[in-house]
Amino acid sequence: MQSCEMPSGARMPAFGIGTWRMGESGRRRAQELAAVKYALELGYPMVDTAEMYGDGEAETIVGEALAGRPLPFVVSKVYPHNATRSGTIAACERSLKRLKLERIDLYLLHWRGGVPLEETFEAFHRLREAGKIGDFGVSNFDTDDMAEATEVDRGLTASNQVLYCLSRRGPDYDLLPWMRQRSIPLMAYSPLDQGRLLGSAPLQKIAHEAGCTPAQLAIAWLMAQPGVVTIPKSSTRERVKENFDALAITLSPDTLAALDRAFPPPKRKQSLEML
Ligand SMILES: NC(=O)c1ccc[n+]([C@@H]2O[C@H](COP(=O)([O-])OP(=O)(O)OC[C@H]3O[C@@H](n4cnc5c(N)ncnc54)[C@H](OP(=O)(O)O)[C@@H]3O)[C@@H](O)[C@H]2O)c1
């Protein structure tokens, strides 16, 4: 299984399951729990969640799915409005309780809000020293925000989770090279552009030629990018398996070139998009 080294020296898996939109409806809960359990059975090495998802209910689902099995790498996130010195610590304690864990492997600031970064990072350092989190990082930070974060992080910003997929390649221009230079893994969220990418005729054609599905092609492309980690979400058993099977795909230079022609990288700076 591919993994990326974080600035602390610890490693994070390059692939996991996302959980946004889980825990929002009692009607879908059993199916969502079954999907996360199945992902873990298959060997998904990472789960991505957040206190925001389902108002904490996604973390509760993850906690239930984790019970009694070897732990994957767990990522969660603090809301910007909770990210004060004491608020971050309290939010992390609540997340740990819902997840039924002693430690979150990677804890992220979900997006930049009004709280000074110094406060959030001080809380992150305290949580790390107390063993309640392994590493910490950010999400939805563009290059200038990353430059500020790495001034107050004592060299420890472990990752930046951003919107990055074939149809949204803005980070290719400067954010991803900036992060690669500093060996900070980029976590690509919405790798399927929340399903929208799968209707693309060029993607479907290239996938057909490569002998895989469009979703697998979109995931395999991200997995082929050095320093990139990705977290497709599905609550459907067959899709959880389909997405996992993308890990076995090695894209040929011809397929990569066809994807670059169909989804060209940006020629100038684009502001970071956020969902
Ligand atoms: N940090 C942030 O601000 C942020 C923002 C967005 C997302 N995220 C994280 O990134 C994860 C992934 O992003 P995402 O959930 O926004 O979008 P995504 O993974 O790109 O797409 C998920 C959507 O695609 C469908 N899908 C999944 N696999 C499929 C397949 N093989 N074939 C057809 N449809 C498929 C899912 O439906 P079913 O569930 O019905 O299968 C769901 O509707 C999130 O769950 C979350 O953990 C973080």
| Residue to mutate, 15, 61, 194, 247, ligand 1, most ligand atoms under 8 Å from C-beta | 194
**Distance in Å, CA 27 to ligand 1 centroid:** 19
Residue 111 near residue 81 (C-beta atoms within 8 A): no
Is 164 designated active site? no
Residue-level pLDDT at 115? 98
Give me the mean pLDDT over the 203-229 stretch.
Answer: 98
The answer, as to whether pTM is greater than 0.85, is yes
Pocket of ligand 1 (CB under 6 A): 18-20, 48, 110, 139-140, 161, 189-195, 198, 215, 231-236, 239, 242-243, 275
Q: Whose CA is nearest to atom 38 of ligand 1?
A: 234
> Checking phi first, is residue 194 left (phi over 0); if not, alpha (psi -120 to 50) or beta?
left
**Distance in Å, CA 232 to ligand 1 centroid:** 5
Instruction: Give per-residue burial for 208-227: e unless 16+ CB within 10 Å, then b.
Output: eebebbbbbbbbbbbbebeb
- pLDDT, tens only, 152-211: 998 999 999 999 999 999 999 999 999 999 999 999 999 999 999 999 999 999 999 999
Residue 232 has pLDDT above 90, yes or no: yes
Of 38, 53, 107, 189, the active-site residue reads 53
- Which residue is it, tokens 């957040």? 50
Residue 130 has pLDDT above 90, yes or no: yes
Residue-level pLDDT at 1? 85
CATH of domain 11-195+227-245: 3.20.20.100
- pLDDT, tens only, 24-69: 999 999 999 999 999 999 999 999 999 999 999 999 999 999 999 9
Q: Whose CA is nearest to atom 27 of ligand 1?
A: 234
In angstroms, rounded to a whole number, what is the distance separating the alpha carbons of residues 33 and 10? 29
Q: Whose CA is nearest to atom 36 of ligand 1?
A: 234
In angstroms, rounded to a whole number, what is the distance separating the alpha carbons of residues 110 and 79? 6
Give me the mean pLDDT over the 134-155 stretch.
Answer: 96
Q: Whose CA is nearest to atom 29 of ligand 1?
A: 239
| Residue to mutate, 109, 145, 192, ligand 1, most ligand atoms under 8 Å from C-beta | 192
Q: Whose CA is nearest to atom 31 of ligand 1?
A: 239
Give the domain ranges of the chain: 11-195+227-245
Residue-level pLDDT at 8? 96
* φ/ψ of residue 177, rounded to 5: -60, -40
- pLDDT confidence band for 84 (50 / 70 / 90): very high
Residue-level pLDDT at 100? 98
| Residue to mutate, 20, 31, 112, 162, ligand 1, most ligand atoms under 8 Å from C-beta | 20
